Structure 1
Amino acid sequence: MKRSYSPTVRRRRISAQLRKFRKQEGLSAAAAGEKLGWAQQKVSKIESGEQKRIPPAELDALLDIYKVTDPQVRDALHECARLAKQRGWWTKYKEAFPGGLPDFESEASVIRSYEAQVIPGLLQTPDYAEAVFRAYKLREDAEIKRLVEARMERQHILNQVGPPDFTAVIDEAALHRLVGSEEVMRMQLRHLTHMAARHNIDIYVLPYRAGAHAATSGSFTIMDFPDPMDTSVVYVETPTSTLYLEEDEEVREFNTMISRAQSAALSPTLSLKLVEETITSLEE
């Protein structure tokens, strides 16, 4: 499968680069805008990504006052701005991804996830995902079908050329919680063993006996990107909203949390053994 590209990541990239160039020139956002005769806050909106499209003429004007003359750098930023206008496949599933999670997953080189209650979405079977969606709130069958379809489509990033490395730390509770039915659980756990065999996927089970651990605050996902201009992002989902955290201090905190949770978890080999034992218990 071909690799998807994210307009959101490109907007972040070009915004970060323009902010860097402005600071190198010792200009405030207001001063840069004043030099160009632009409305107040326009430069700030470009740098924050609030302005989703940067016309070529505006980009050239910014690069001129920032004294960026290298043609390769300018061409690269123009290409970045052009790609930032494109729409990803996930835009047709806006109701399924209100926070635009696939926007970031599609370009991540490393994804690390801690799940406290259920199997991570990237590893769910259709039947398991359907049961999860039905448990959340009353929905029409057509809506459930579309949500499941969107989740399965999202999983294709693990099949693309150059897939991300995915590390999932899963609380043991997720293995034992009966989601859907015993048959649904058996199929889901069996699928987990199949996914664990892939070279780019590592599954760690955090056993009950680990007791209190660093990630007791709840589930989250950390995404790292191959381009050094793209800072890591932490994704946290709540019942009413989605949060993207990218400040250095915040990312460091979550990195520490998942590292400690992973250290407290069983090794991938022992984790797989526990999954197999759970499957056996469901067959008795």
Structure 2
Amino acid sequence: MPWGNQVDPSRLFVAQFGAKLRALREQRGWSQAKLAAKVFLSHARIAQFESGESVPSQHHAQALDEALGAGGALLDEWDKLNDSPGAKWAQKLMNVEGKAVEIRHFSDIVPALLQTESYTRAILAEGMEFYGGDLEEKMRYRTHRRALLDRPDAPRFWSVLKESALSWVVGGTEVMREQLLDLLRMARRPHISIQIVPFVGPRFLSDVGMLTITTLPGGREVVYRGGIQGAWVTNRAAIAEYSVLYKQVQRGALSPHDSMALIDKVLGEKYP
């Protein structure tokens, strides 16, 4: 099975931004602590920006540029980062979803299109230390994506979830209760189907990872393999294999009716 994974190229641009920031600071003869004080950030945040562990928001990038007298050079590096292949993948994902006729998704967490605001915020907040960026900007992007399923011409959406998605606590008990109740509500919509793969499901599913198959007008399909590493797949032969794989995933899942019963059971037992 051709998984088609590749490292997100945006990490290169993150490193370049950090190197530029460090060079500008050292030209001034400033310590990280001194620069941090001038832009009202912590010493640790400046260190994260320079090492590539975190990415500043546009607001912070502009403040750093002004404090260092960079004349826009640092902002130019920030623009490269946000026009990198990684950023373009995110934009392409939203564009493809916007044209979709049908979306088939498989994951071990609640998919972005079905996440409540509090669940999304908790997921994104957990990843901020690694991915960096601006949390509120990410929230606006996710909110825009979720609105897709509220449109009059919303695509048919299939979500197959591992049972672990119901048990892995994101943001606390109240967040999980709200999320599972919302799954039950969304599943009542005629264009949305949710199926759960129980813990006793086929073992091969543990190796599948996140998978999205999107059908566009005219029947053309594209595949996205997500995660820290991700890739788009457009080769027809490979897409055909993924479609077969998805059918196997669905066969290993409970029916939509039984899946709703399981979600309701988990609600009562884990998040009463």
1:111 and 1:221 in contact (8 A); partners too: yes
CA distance in 1, matches of 2:207, 2:132: 34
- The reply on whether 1:192 has 2:183 as its aligned counterpart is yes
- 1:81 counterpart residue number: none
Per-residue CA shift, 1:187-237, capped at 9, x if unaligned?
Answer: 000010010000000000000111313562211100011224xx2000112
- The reply on whether 1:181 has 2:169 as its aligned counterpart is no
Q: State the one-letter code of the partner of 2:135.
A: I
The 1:247–1:95 alpha-carbon spacing in structure 2 relative to 1, beyond 3 Å, is closer
Q: State the one-letter code of the partner of 1:105.
A: E
CA distance in 2, matches of 1:215, 1:198: 29
Query: In the TM superposition, what is the alpha-carbon distance from 1:115 to its structure 2 partner?
Result: 0.6
Matches within 5 A, 1:13-24: none
Query: In the TM superposition, what is the alpha-carbon distance from 1:96 to its structure 2 partner?
Result: 9.4
- 2:10 counterpart residue number: none
Per-residue CA shift, 1:70-127, capped at 9, x if unaligned?
Answer: xxxxxxxxxxxxxxxxxxxxx9xx95963520110111101000012x1011000111
Per-residue CA shift, 1:238-284, capped at 9, x if unaligned?
Answer: 315x3110111110111111100101100000000010111111344
Matches within 5 A, 1:233-244: 233-240=222-229, 242-244=230-232
1:210 and 1:264 in contact (8 A); partners too: yes
Q: State the one-letter code of the partner of 1:104.
A: V
- The reply on whether 1:259 has 2:255 as its aligned counterpart is no
Q: State the one-letter code of the partner of 2:228.
A: P
Q: Sequence identity of aligned pairs in percent?
A: 27
Whose helix fraction is larger, Structure 1's or Structure 2's? 2
- 1:272 counterpart residue number: 260
* Correspondence for 1:232 among 204, 207, 221: 221
- The reply on whether 1:101 has 2:90 as its aligned counterpart is no
Alignment gaps of 5+ in structure 1: 1-90
CA distance in 2, matches of 1:99, 1:237: 14
SS in 2 for 1:137: helix
SS in 2 for 1:279: helix
Q: State the one-letter code of the partner of 1:279.
A: L
* Correspondence for 1:202 among 193, 197, 200: 193
- The reply on whether 1:171 has 2:159 as its aligned counterpart is no
- 1:58 counterpart residue number: none
Q: State the one-letter code of the partner of 2:245.
A: M
CA distance in 1, matches of 2:128, 2:200: 32
Give the RMSD, CA atoms, in angstroms.
2.3
Matches within 5 A, 1:125-164: 125-138=116-129, 143-164=134-155
1:167 and 1:203 in contact (8 A); partners too: yes
SS in 1 for 2:136: helix
Matches within 5 A, 1:113-128: 113-116=105-108, 118-128=109-119
CA distance in 2, matches of 1:155, 1:97: 17
CA distance in 1, matches of 2:118, 2:143: 11
Say which is worse superposed, 184-193 or 157-166, in terms of deviation. Answer: 157-166
Alignment gaps of 5+ in structure 2: 1-82
- 1:211 counterpart residue number: 202
For normalisation by structure 1, the TM-score amounts to: 0.62
Per-residue CA shift, 1:128-181, capped at 9, x if unaligned?
Answer: 011111222328998112212211111111111221000000000001000010
